[in-house]
Structure 1
Amino acid sequence: MLDNSLGPVSSRITIGDRVYLQLRDALITGRFDPGQALTIAALAKSFQTSPMPVREALRRLGAENAVEMASNGSACVPTVSVERLDDICRARVAIEGLATQLAAETVQPHEMEAIEQSMAEHEAASTKADVYDMLLRNRDFHFRIYSASRSQVLAQLIDSLWLRYGPYMRMLSSYIAPRMGTGLHKPFANHHHAIVAALRQRDGAAAREHMIADITGTQALLQDLCRAETGLSPDISGK
């Protein structure tokens, strides 16, 4: 079934752009299941639009590798695999690590305040039942840091990577939702605190190291979830 957060679009920007932006945001936050079909008719009904803007939005998302296009113009969310996950995370480590290191050199006091506020909001959200709110707060935390790097190119590349990471966010949210309030978030909160401390000290190398640890910590969890999804045994080698 399609996510019920989709709704009628506004006419303040073009309908096609609004459909694209809503679908893009839904994908990047993991609102769709891996492999889920996204049909033009169903999406047009959800958005209360004609098929044309939906078809164009899917075409744009296909060009960004966020969905896989079918010959009839419909699309599906990419499936998950350890190999795809590792490929995305390899790029995330390189690019987000660099952006974090640069941010340590250029972050301004008002930006540090906003980063710390996002960190606090993420921790507060982890005690509630809305897993998507928690993940959105996590995204805000990360992107405030990347914005402070002053690199538009890196920010655009990171945005593209997070879009392709969407199916794994869905897996993560499904795993976290029944465990909200159990302390599952604490290791990741610790990474956030370490990143913030390094940014405050303008220690780019340490900030980069802790950001990489944050990414790879989630990657390790998702590797096991991917193996379970595909019927493979979890890696218990500790490597």
Structure 2
Amino acid sequence: MLDDQLEPVASRVTMGDGVYLQLRNALITGRFDPGQALTISALASSFRTSHMPVREALRRLAAENALEVASNGSAKVPQVSVERLDDIYRARTVLEGLAAELAAAHVDKGGLAALEAIVAEHEATYASGNVYDMLLKNRDFHFAIYRASGSEVLVQLIDTLWLRHGPYMRMLSSEISPRPGSGLQEPLSQHHRAIVEALRKRDGAAARDAMVADIGATQGLLRQLCMAVESSR
């Protein structure tokens, strides 16, 4: 299961950093199931490394609250819950809304054109049925805006929240995958276009409100999925 998600580490980065970055990206894009165990031996085999760089990567990810590490060094993806979801989204709403508001004062024509291109690519990937590419384009869209805010601190904090949001991304991809053409992507597209339009008008308040609406729409869907999971435990 892991072999089709992870690749041998390139020589241009240190072994430890390569393992960490690949695992981090896999977590942030929802490649692992909530509660899934990640053993050092299995990961080392997938990465074709010794145990040491894997163990260090797991420790780093645990320090970012992306994983739960047991005393034997093995790790587990956190379980999902409505309480944890709401906690993450409370922080996301504040930080990402502020980043969008700040971006309205800084984004230029080139940045707006890039955002429009990402929106189009995002819609095209969903139409093609490639859910993971769609979610990656969604992340590209959001972080292009957050980087345009000019706040390095905000970008770092938001990135950490998205990492902790990984198990919920897995739930989202599992919900969308069996239902191509269902229209589930329409609210996302509408919110994205509203954000771009607010940025074009340099209306910081409207950009913040559109971003908060976008985040809230996803939270609403995930709350339903979390409640279903909790009721089945």
Q: For residue 236 of structure 1, what is the aligned residue in structure 2? A: none
Superposed, 1:1-239 pairs within 5 Å as 1-2=1-2, 4-231=4-231
Work out whether residues 188 and 214 of structure 1, in 8 Å CA contact, stay in contact via their aligned partners in 2.
Answer: yes
Q: Which amino acid aligns with 1:226?
A: C
- TM-score (structure 1 length as normaliser): 0.95
Q: Which runs of 4+ in 1 moved over 3 A?
A: none
Per-residue deviation, 1:2: 2.8
Work out whether residues 3 and 31 of structure 1, in 8 Å CA contact, stay in contact via their aligned partners in 2.
Answer: no
Per-residue deviation, 1:184: 1.3
Provide the C-alpha distance between the structure 2 equivalents of 1:114 and 1:65, rounded to a whole number of angstroms.
32
Work out whether residues 32 and 170 of structure 1, in 8 Å CA contact, stay in contact via their aligned partners in 2.
Answer: yes
In angstroms, what is the RMSD of aligned CA positions? 0.9
What SS does structure 2 have at the residue aligned with 1:97?
A: helix
What SS does structure 2 have at the residue aligned with 1:179?
A: coil
Per-residue deviation, 1:182: 2.2
Q: Which amino acid aligns with 1:26?
A: A
What SS does structure 1 have at the residue aligned with 2:31?
A: coil
What SS does structure 2 have at the residue aligned with 1:120?
A: helix
Per-residue deviation, 1:181: 2.2
Q: Deviations over 1:95-153 (max 9, x none)?
A: 00000000001111111111111111101111012110000000000000001000000
Provide the C-alpha distance between the structure 2 equivalents of 1:74 and 1:15, rounded to a whole number of angstroms.
19
The percentage of counterpart residues that share the same residue type is: 68
Provide the C-alpha distance between the structure 1 equivalents of 2:224 and 2:182, rounded to a whole number of angstroms.
20
Q: Which amino acid aligns with 1:48?
A: R
Per-residue deviation, 1:3: 6.0
Per-residue deviation, 1:74: 1.1
Per-residue deviation, 1:190: 0.4
Gaps of 5+ in 2: none
- TM-score (structure 2 length as normaliser): 0.98
Gaps of 5+ in 1: 233-239
How many equivalent pairs are there?
232
Q: Which amino acid aligns with 1:146?
A: Y
Q: Deviations over 1:185-226 (max 9, x none)?
A: 001110011000000000000010010000011001000000
